[in-house]
Homo-oligomer: A and B are copies of this chain.
Amino acid sequence: MADRDREHLLLHLAVDLAILTVREDVLQVLVIERDNQPYRGQEALPGGFLRQGEDLLSAAERELAEETGLDGKALHLEQVAAYGAPDRDPRDRTVSVAYLAIAPDLPIPVAGSDARSAHWAPIGQVIGKLAFDHSTILADAVERARERLELTTVAAAFCGEPFTIGDLRKVYEAVWGMPLDPRNFNRKVANTEGFVLPTGARRVPETGRPATLYRRGPAQKLSPPLMRHSAAF
């Protein structure tokens, strides 16, 4: 870090959230409708400004709680990247740090204190249409989520506990946008040490054989990884 010219640039620092969930077998993101200029009436990712004495992750957790009423520590929350194009906010110079949050299918889309109209929208329906550079941020966050499903056990964070292996498979299919063989998927997950733990209970579906219910296991990383071969939007 240089020491000369400490007077350089002062700027705002925003934290924006790509909160993803799987609803009705489709990958969706929480968006808000902007009620101020610029981009008034357009959809955007929820976010806010970093406060005095606050860490980046703490700011992300606070925003998440404000928008969804959920405890950030309970959800998967990870930094994606920082975005700093000089003109990304037409008002002031603002650098934004984007976070990816993974939420189970919530009964309430928004229970937060924030009065703005927030709602879930399928990725394909909003990507390319968001305010600021939020479409880029969303695309990066979705790509990150896809990678994480290959290499880690976070897919379970999309499921409310307890869940079935079929639920988990639908998460993979929605996020990767491709069908998977239910039989091989079942074995793969069940045989990966620490991915899921059986609860002993079963769930009876509308039709078909009851499925074993599981909770998340202690494993964080998948080795060997669960691989996708090609993906579609």
**Which residues of A line the B interface, CB within 8 A?**
1-3, 5-6, 8-14, 16, 34, 36, 44-45, 47-56, 59, 79, 81-86, 89, 91-97, 131-132, 224-225, 227
Contacts and interface: CB of A to CB of B under 8 A. Distances in A.
A11 B13 contact: yes
A9 B52 contact: yes
Nearest to A86: B53
A8 B93 CA distance: 13
Nearest to A11: B13
29 contacts: A1-B14, A1-B16, A1-B48, A1-B96, A1-B131, A2-B14, A2-B48, A6-B12, A6-B91, A8-B49, A9-B13, A9-B49, A9-B50, A9-B51, A9-B52, A10-B11, A11-B11, A13-B84, A13-B95, A50-B95, A52-B93, A53-B86, A56-B84, A56-B85, A56-B95, A59-B84, A82-B82, A82-B97, A84-B97
The 4 closest A-B pairs by CB, nearest first: A56-B84, A2-B48, A8-B49, A82-B82
B86 A11 contact: no
Contacts of A79: 81-82
Nearest to A95: B13
Contact of A2 (B2, B47, B53): B47
Contacts of A36: 3
Contact of A12 (B9, B48, B97): B9
Nearest to A114: B2
A12 B82 CA distance: 14
Given A2-B49, A50-B95, 18 more contacts: A1-B14, A1-B45, A1-B47, A1-B132, A2-B47, A3-B34, A8-B49, A9-B50, A9-B52, A10-B11, A13-B13, A13-B95, A50-B84, A52-B86, A56-B84, A56-B85, A59-B84, A79-B81
A222 to B, nearest CB: 12
A30 to B, nearest CB: 14
Contacts of A51: 8-9
A13 to B, nearest CB: 6
